[in-house]
Amino acid sequence: MTDRSFQRPNDQSRERLARLVETLTPAQLAVDVGGGWSVASALAHTGFWDRWQAERWGEMLAGKWSVPDDSVIAAEHLANEALHPYWAGIDGEDIPALALDAATKLDALIASAPDAVVDALDGTPSAYLLHRHRHRGEHLDQIERGLDAAEAASAQPSPHAAAQSPNAAIGASSWADRSYMARNQASLARLRELLGSLSGADLTLSSGEGSWTVGQTLGHLSFWDRFLAARWRAALTAGPGEQPGVFSHEMADLINGGLPPTWQAFASAAPEAAIAETLDAAEAIDGLIAGLPDATPVETILADRPALLDRSIHRAEHIETLEHALAARRR
């Protein structure tokens, strides 16, 4: 049976884009979202690539496409680099509507693809042609974080205003955007649904993440949620407004390289416990984050280290690979 699990996240990412487009103001198009991008240039980028892939899909479905996948991917990377400076120069107010139109047309083409075409792409380096939500979601995350940071900065009271108001220091960061909590809740619900469908035997399956099994991926998720919870508790003990210290990517890579055998041993010996622990760890960190005090520098963290607050960033990719692995097994 052909796996079409990509359609739901494609639809969700397009609907998310539509909600953004509906509320964007002209001023917000110019907001800096980091990395040399503005809201407008990020939308121009996503719109262009959705339109590009729609043209490619049209050729494939018509039986006219014959270019080797590896050469196309290499060319797309080159085009991405060459086009980036031009995205930064675009500020037209019709860009959001064009991006949504491109996403709508592309998703319709993908949904219409015959099973044989889907099967030929799924599980290959060109699977991104099916999973357009990945690229779209990455830039929507980028845009939302940038808009959240800009809104927080504009809402912060000036020093003069704070001096005039005896209550200004109370809940000084309560104005900070907390939309990351909704994203955490959505990703937690998705994780809960996934875990509820797992059996102990499923934990021995390949997760699609290199040599990791499903059980090792669950160990990875629960470890990093537990570790972050411990770091947050240490920060809260240190005093108001503190945040977890910087943890290097190099150290994280060493941990990710050394712990999988331990995760596998635990998952193999107690699969039901491993499943329960993954959910408990996710619920614990999300609850801790939701209860952080107003003094927490939310806007700074979202701008510099968003994964400390937005657990959906880490969670989503792993959930997607697990869903794909399970769908492949059941197919």
Q: What's the CATH number where 210 sits? A: 1.20.120.450
pLDDT reported for residue 209: 61
Q: How many CB atoms lie within 10 A of CB 247?
A: 14
Supply the DSSP symbol for 1.
-
Does residue 186 sit in the same domain as residue 298? yes
143 and 206 belong to one structural domain: no
What is the rounded distance in angstroms from the CA atom of residue 151 to the CA atom of residue 156? 9
Predicted confidence band at 156 (pLDDT cuts at 50, 70, 90)?
low
Contact call for residues 325 and 331 (beta carbons, < 8 A): no
The residue ranking higher by pLDDT, 38 or 210, is 38
In a domain? residue 311: yes
Instruction: Examine the fold and report which residue of 152, 182, 198 is the final residue of a domain before the chain moves on.
Output: 152
The answer to whether residue 159 is domain-embedded is no
Residue whose C-alpha is closest to residue 301's, from 176, 187, 183, 169: 176
Q: Return d(Cα 96, Cα 103) in angstroms, integer.
A: 11
The mean per-residue pLDDT over the stretch 213-218 comes to 92
Rounded (10°) angle between helices 214-238 and 312-330: 170
Averaged confidence pLDDT in the chain: 84
Same domain? 121 vs 254: no
42 closest CA partner among 116, 99, 81, 93: 99
Looking at the fold, whether 295 and 176 belong to one and the same domain comes out as: yes
Q: How many structural domains compose the chain?
A: 2
The range of the structural domain enclosing residue 47 comes to 7-152
Give a yes or no: residue 274 inside a domain. Answer: yes
In a domain, 13, yes or no: yes
Please give the single-letter amino acid code of residue 167: N
pLDDT at position 226 over 90: yes
Residue 174 confidence (pLDDT) above 60: no
Give the pLDDT band (50/70/90) at residue 121: confident
The answer to whether residue 84 is domain-embedded is yes
Facing residues of 206 across strands? 213
Quote the strand ranges of 142-219, DSSP E: none
Q: Report the length, in residues, of the chain.
A: 331
CA distance readout (Å), 9 to 34, 45, 187: 25, 20, 12
Do 113 and 189 lie in a common domain? no
